[in-house]
């Protein structure tokens, strides 16, 4: 981790308390079951990048819920993901597809963390299906602490005049700091307009969420107004898809944190005070690591391939970044 500032190193060290150690006693799924909800006929790469990053960063199981016609292309990208083409757009619905929420619920209720938005598109039929999913996810199954990461077209739902009130109400169904939104500068402005607020802090306060405002420096603010800034160096090359890598890594870290905090796989003590790390701290650390790992992967990929950098190059570095952040010997 050459080049990282001392306070970054301290946060990374503390974040190790969020990552459960692998032992022979664990069974499949205990260290994170992630569900990515996204993908339509036009956009199949975005949900794949998010789900692939979650898998490579260490999630045990990764599911992907997508639109019917996106299923086959995404299945062809990787045999490691469990792809469920249970969503339907207007075209599919007028050509025999019937949306069955029970099939969606059967996938969602297995998962600890949802990522909603990558490559979802703006079709109104899909928007309605996803709204129902976001509304009902907190009550599906026995898991009352399910987490949600909202990005891309999921953020469009939040900022849309036609859907914002319903989305705001839905997000309140999750616990404090159990929702993360990851807007870029344009998306953040739209969200602030929809919420009628004028700062990142007020966005987080109003939604009860953590906002990861992407930019030259990533700004991370939780619902209590705690604000962290991440200026870890990334690459000089910007390409589409890097935000999808970010959502996948954040989701994985939330899955790890839930394994420790909610499912009590380990007793974690914050250094210096002898108390268990509170969820608010673990959630902030999860977002910080998501931001840091994404920047490190982007920089490592750029150092390797230069200006031709694509998101596939970056995702291929995610596993190496995890090992750099959390060496197996430590």
Counting DSSP H helices and E strands in the chain, the numbers are 14, 9
Q: Does 240 count as an annotated binding residue? A: yes
Q: Does 215 count as an annotated binding residue? A: yes
Long-range contacts of 276-279 (CB under 8 A, 24+ apart): 277/14, 277/17, 277/18, 279/175, 279/177
For residue 267, CA distances in Å to 86, 147, 258 come to 38, 21, 12
Q: Does 295 count as an annotated binding residue? A: no
Q: Does 153 count as an annotated binding residue? A: no
Q: Does 59 count as an annotated binding residue? A: no
Q: Does 244 count as an annotated binding residue? A: yes
In sequence order, the 6+-apart residues with CB closer than 8 A to the CB of 83 are 63, 64, 66, 71, 74, 75
Q: Does 186 count as an annotated binding residue? A: yes
Q: Does 154 count as an annotated binding residue? A: no
Beta bridge partners of 213: 219
Q: Does 235 count as an annotated binding residue? A: yes
Count of all residues that appear for the chain in the document: 330
Cα 222 to the center of its chain, rounded Å: 15
Q: Does 196 count as an annotated binding residue? A: no
Q: Does 214 count as an annotated binding residue? A: yes
Q: Does 69 count as an annotated binding residue? A: no
Q: Does 68 count as an annotated binding residue? A: no
Q: Does 227 count as an annotated binding residue? A: no
Q: Does 283 count as an annotated binding residue? A: no
Q: Does 176 count as an annotated binding residue? A: no
Q: Does 5 count as an annotated binding residue? A: no
Q: Does 11 count as an annotated binding residue? A: no
Q: Does 128 count as an annotated binding residue? A: no
d(CA 319, CA 54): 10
Q: Does 253 count as an annotated binding residue? A: no
Binding residues for ATP, by number, are 214-218, 234-243
Binding residues, by number, are 119, 184-190, 214-218, 234-244
Binding residues for (6S)-NADPHX, by number, are 119, 184-190, 244
């Amino acid at each position: 981790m050459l080049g990282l500032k001392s306070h970054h190193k301290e946060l990374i060290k503390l974040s190790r308390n969020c990552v459960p150690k692998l032992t022979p006693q664990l069974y499949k799924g205990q260290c994170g079951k992630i569900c990515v909800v996204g993908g339509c006929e036009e956009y199949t790469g975005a949900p794949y990048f998010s789900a692939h990053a979650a898998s490579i960063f260490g999630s045990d199981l990764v599911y992907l819920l997508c639109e019917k016609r996106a299923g086959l292309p995404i299945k062809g990208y990787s045999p490691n993901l469990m792809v469920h083409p249970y969503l339907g757009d207007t075209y599919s619905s007028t050509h025999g597809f019937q949306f069955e929420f029970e099939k969606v619920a059967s996938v969602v209720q297995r998962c600890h963390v949802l990522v909603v938005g990558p490559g979802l598109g703006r079709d109104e039929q899909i928007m309605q299906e996803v709204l129902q999913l976001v509304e009902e996810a907190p009550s599906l199954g026995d898991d009352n602490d399910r987490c949600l990461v909202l990005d891309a077209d999921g953020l469009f739902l939040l900022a849309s005049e036609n859907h914002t009130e319903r989305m705001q109400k839905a997000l309140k169904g999750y616990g404090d700091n159990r929702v993360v939104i990851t807007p870029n500068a344009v998306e953040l402005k739209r969200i602030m307009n929809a919420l009628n607020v004028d700062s990142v802090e007020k966005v987080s306060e109003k939604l009860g969420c953590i906002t990861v405002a992407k930019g030259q420096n990533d700004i991370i603010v939780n619902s209590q107004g705690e604000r962290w800034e991440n200026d870890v160096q990334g690459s000089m090359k910007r390409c589409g898809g890097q935000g999808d890598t970010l959502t996948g890594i954040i989701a994985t870290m939330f899955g790890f944190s839930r394994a420790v905090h909610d499912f009590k796989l380990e007793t974690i003590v914050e250094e210096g005070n002898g108390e268990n790390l509170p969820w608010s701290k673990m959630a902030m650390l999860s977002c910080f690591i998501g931001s840091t790992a994404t920047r490190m992967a982007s920089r490592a990929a750029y150092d390797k391939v230069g200006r031709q950098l694509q998101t596939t190059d970056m995702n291929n570095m995610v596993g190496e970044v995890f090992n750099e952040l959390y060496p197996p010997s430590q």
